[in-house]
Amino acid sequence: MDIALSGAGIARLARHLARPKVASRHLVRVLSDWNMPEIPVWVVIPGRRLVPTRTHLLIEALKQDLNVS
């Protein structure tokens, strides 16, 4: 991202990382008909019982940051 922000080239960036810079017009999408392939993300926990609150909070934060349900 730093190279693209400095004007030295283009970069393949995850949408959730580039979105704020595109919104502020520091970056411009140049290949609008191309998308990065989706990569599955899994959260593995030992079980649904007695999962710490911080684990639930981490999972919810990841969902929000990655825009998944």
pLDDT in tens, 34-58: 877 888 888 898 887 888 999 999 9
Q: How confident is the model at residue 69 (pLDDT cuts 50, 70, 90)?
A: low
Judge whether residue 5 has pLDDT over 90: yes
Separation CA 43–CA 25 (nearest Å): 33
The full set of domain ranges for the chain reads: 2-66
- For the chain, helix (H) and strand (E) counts, in that order, are 3, 0
pTM to 2 decimals?
0.49
